Structure 1
């Protein structure tokens, strides 16, 4: 009963499933509810780790839509607690996830200490010992030193792109593009228009004989595309590649959405750990809403998909504010329950809220 009440209060969704059926106020209210719960329920990992990097990235997006002091305080408290640092592993894409928030705050505040460690990490990419890129994952003890797993395309590229915008130095965008392209050429399935999580899945099949494409993995990629595209100059020579990739993946993702509004953990085989998986669904809601808001996707074609995804996500928030059905840390489809939550799931939801808010505002 409490969950039904939450949906009615926060969503107010009518049968026709369009943006006119959801109020801006309800979006911000449910986002605040999720934020409050996550702040009160730390997961135990360090706040500069990628799990929280995705959370704070989403919080920075929410703050652009709703400038509550407590959101800003949560971000600045975290930064001050960790001295605005990143983990000292400069080639590992995961360490740059927290830098999304640092760079967004720097753009607001302008204090150089907020990004000085991030800049050191970004610059390390220009000074590494020259050698052939190696994006193999299986059997590679240094798998983390290149973007060898598709999640990396969310973690690191936005940091390069955001800093390029801040400084006006195209070399950071060019480096991001160079590294993304290497990973794309290795992990992207041109027939399915989806990314393999890493090379261990090239030949794997689901119990139903389908290719294994992980929902959250492709959600990471689409989230990374959004964050890169929103700061990439319109006249950047490689922008058409990213726009075309985004539209190609969006069309595939829309096709794979189930009638209930969610995406399962295994995108091509709902019998393989079927049922809702909230983190992937939140990333797709975020990406498709951004696509409409930016003009890359047709509103008439994609709006219903966004609203159905938003509705099912809100249904999976309990009365305390916990977003459930979030697959735990992993690298492949797995079972989830209503009790499963993670900081990155909350972060993906806040990203979705920020873009659905814009969508409703522009109805």
Structure 2
């Protein structure tokens, strides 16, 4: 991307080579300027967009990148980022799965156009709604499919749409964003109903964490060392999802309930952080699949920073957590060319022996990194 398109003057110095990734890494990770963090955002996002010119479909992993790209656009106002998501949305016709026959719509796992009600095909709506808001709320086409799908879903008597942890990130923010666009309180009512079902099958009241889905509930399933097996990226999806909906909710008992859950998760996650700053793939069993992992760590960093920035989490308690995780993200995960490494490949659990290394990258991992970096910029602001 050409940085001449930047709209905020404060980052022009970056194009003169003001700072490099290497020089950032040598300093205290939290004592950075906003320009340095903006430089990191551009390094990562420009690399991704320049090496992925074909955009891709609207399935979850591509769409998860775009949720990070939207945050990068918010803090940089780089029109290239906005345009990248606009082209992607147009390519996908502002839709997820494209079936028009409601009688065949499904919400079990599936990558076909019939799986309209499956949350992995609904996360794209988050970015479509953002683009609708950013580019003038007069083109209703941008959110027409999102409203059609979600309002049909809410019209059914089903409550078990969110049966896997990832789905909470994929769809919860769609509900709050559409509430803010439409004023339709049913979005918040159904959000609570669907989340209550998810809690009933995946949430562990003692650990204050989410299993990836019902298959992994202890003691039916155990980690390699007989412990509860909470998958880092799965809980990363949930923790980040809570941050996203809390910021969009009106003041209410519902919002306070979610803040309580978010705080409980924060406390549990902070205890499980490794000294090196990352979280292992099995959060409570570091030896199950040892070593660094970026996607979960980036989602957690975003959530902690958002909580601190908005007075939801205590700064004195959680800033040390962020210092360590941010240091990991920019010194270990971030590579000199702007690639983001140590991202566990697509999956649903921590896998003993699976190789996750400097060359392991993915669109959703880049999206998570951009979320964290954008929130770090706001922290420094």
Normalising by structure 1, report the TM-score: 0.90
Q: Which residue of 1 aligns with 2:274?
A: 258
Report what 2:128 is aligned to: 102
Q: Partner residue of 2:365? A: 345
Given the alignment, which residue of 185, 192, 213 partners 1:170? 185
Query: Helix, strand or coil: the match of 1:307?
Result: helix
Match of 1:206 in 2: 223
Deviation by residue 1:176-219 (Cα, 9 ceiling, x = unmatched): 11101110122100000110101111121122111111000000
For residues 294 and 201 of structure 2, the distance between their equivalents in structure 1, rounded to whole angstroms, comes to 27
Which structure 1 segments of 5+ residues have no match?
A: 136-145
Is 1:90 paired with 2:116?
A: yes
Checking the alignment, whether the CA contact within 8 Å between 1:91 and 1:124 is kept in structure 2 is no
Q: Name whichever of 25-34 and 149-158 sits farther off.
A: 25-34
Conserved 8 A contact 2:240-2:299: yes
**CA displacement, residues 2-60 of structure 1 (integer Å, 9 cap, x when unaligned):** xxx9544345632xx5x4x1111111111111112221333989331100111100111
Tell me the secondary structure at the aligned position of residue 338 of structure 2: coil
2:168 counterpart of 1:153: yes
Contact 1:266 1:273 in 2 (8 A): yes
Question: 4+ runs of 1 displaced by more than 6 Å?
Answer: none
Q: Does 1:295 align with 2:311?
A: yes
Change (3 A) 1:341 1:245: same
2-side partners of 1:35 and 1:8: how far apart?
17
- Matching of residue 268 in structure 1 with residue 284 in structure 2: yes
CA 1:153–1:247: 2 relative to 1, 3 Å: same
| Structure 2 residue 339 is matched with structure 1 residue 322 | yes
| Corresponding residue of 1:127 | 155
**Judging changes above 3 Å, is the alpha-carbon distance between structure 1 residues 184 and 79 closer, same or farther for their aligned structure 2 residues?**
same
Alignment partner, residue 9 of structure 1? 23
Q: 2:142 aligns with which of 109, 114, 117?
A: 114
Residue 329 of structure 2 corresponds to which residue in structure 1?
Answer: 313
Aligned-partner Cα distance in 1 for 2:257–2:34 = 33
Separation in 1, partners of 2:257, 2:237: 18
Aligned to 2:33: 23
Alignment size in residue pairs? 339
Counterpart CA distance in 1 for 2:93 and 2:70 is 18
Contact 1:48 1:98 in 2 (8 A): yes
CA RMSD of aligned residues (A): 1.7
Q: How does 1:60-75 map to 2 (within 5 A)?
A: 60-75=70-85
Aligned equivalent of 1:195: 210
Is 2:200 the partner of 1:185? yes
Verify the 8 A CA contact 1:90 1:122 in the aligned structure 2.
Answer: no
Q: Deviations over 1:82-130 (max 9, x none)?
A: 22111133321111111111111111221211111111111111233x3
Alignment correspondent of 2:258: 242
Of structures 1 and 2, the one scoring higher in RCO (CA 8 A, sep 6+) is 1
> Could you tell me whether the CA contact under 8 Å between 1:90 and 1:124 is conserved in 2?
no
Shift of 1:305: 1.1
1:227 aligns with 2:241: no
CA distance in 2, matches of 1:205, 1:256: 17
Distance (Å, rounded) in 2 between the aligned partners of 1:29 and 1:124? 43
Corresponding residue number in structure 1 for 2:9: none
Label 1:180 to 1:44 Cα distance change in 2 as closer, same or farther (>3 A): farther
CA distance in 2 between counterparts of 1:281 and 1:45 reads 25
Report SS of the residue matched to 2:248. coil
Give the TM-score taking structure 2 as reference length. 0.85
